[in-house]
Amino acid sequence: MGIVNVTPDSFSDSGKFFDTEMAVAQGEKLVADGADIIDIGGESTRPFSDSVTVDEEVRRVVPVIEKLAKHVSIPISIDTMKAGVARRAIEAGASIINDVSALRFDPELAGVAVEFGTPTILMHMLGNPKTMQVSPVYDDLLADISDFLADAIDRSEKHGISKSKIIIDPGIGFGKTVEHNLLLIKHLQFFQSLDAPILIGASRKSFLRKILKDEHLDDILPDLPIVEAGSQAAVAAAVLNGAHIVRVHDVAKTAPTVKILDAMINAQGTLNDTL
């Protein structure tokens, strides 16, 4: 899943694709680079970010989706927590809803998913973007997040969303410390019991930058080569531990990584004493 942030305040690209034409060009590049899904978002969900109105979010994403849908053959997902945005995006050509609130913030969003029959991504987040990184604490990290996602699946099914259309996301960076994020990727197989495809979005996240930066620096730029190298390490670990979809900024570098990982996972044959 390749990311296109149509926002002026994205943590990863500093608003580089806020212009419609630039966003469309980036989406087309991600497809050419090997993306299987394009994820379009018009509201930043970085830590401490402010929300935007439905009208503003629609103004940002719908022109991009309309133009991309005419030129690409892969699915487009709309990264939104708002029913009004999701509806307009689907009418414009999107076919997946990616909701970081797991249908908690807008009671109408599930109805849109049911009406259009769209696959829906349910993500774990502690609190909301404004508060999620204020001293996040868990009684039992894996169990707490698994219980949250199980409840989200149950809630979705009660609204009429088919289980076969649900994708889960443990929410790397959304109310987690560095250690929490590392443990989630390390123990990703824990979530296989929920019997749903797993999406992981670790690309360029702050936990990687905190590990990679020099001790005297507060942070490093998300698009530095060293951060992309760290992102590829996180992608590799996630795929080997059971991720079905990886949400990334640099598809060109990720596509060959995933191709090699898939070859390893699907390798056939038996080992013998000479190996």
Strand ranges inside 105-207, DSSP E: 120-123, 166-169, 199-200
CB 211 within 8 A of CB 173: no
Beta bridge partners of 168: 122, 198
Active site residue 205: yes
End-to-end Cα spacing for the chain: 36
Cα gap 43→5, rounded to integer Å: 8
Structural Rg of the chain based on CA atoms: 18
What is the amino acid identity at position 71?
H
Strand ranges inside the chain, DSSP E: 2-5, 38-41, 76-79, 96-99, 120-123, 166-169, 199-200, 245-246
Enclosing H/E stretch for 124: none
In total, the chain counts a number of residues equal to 275
Q: Which of 205, 209, 210, 213 is catalytic?
A: 205
Counting DSSP H helices and E strands in the chain, the numbers are 9, 8
| Residue of 70, 79, 64 lying closest to 27 (CA atoms) | 64
CB 114 within 8 A of CB 160: yes
Cβ partners under 8 Å of residue 230, min gap 6: 208, 209, 211, 212
Q: Which of 82, 165, 176, 247 is catalytic?
A: 247
Cα gap 141→68, rounded to integer Å: 39
Q: Please give the positions annotated as active site.
A: 205, 247
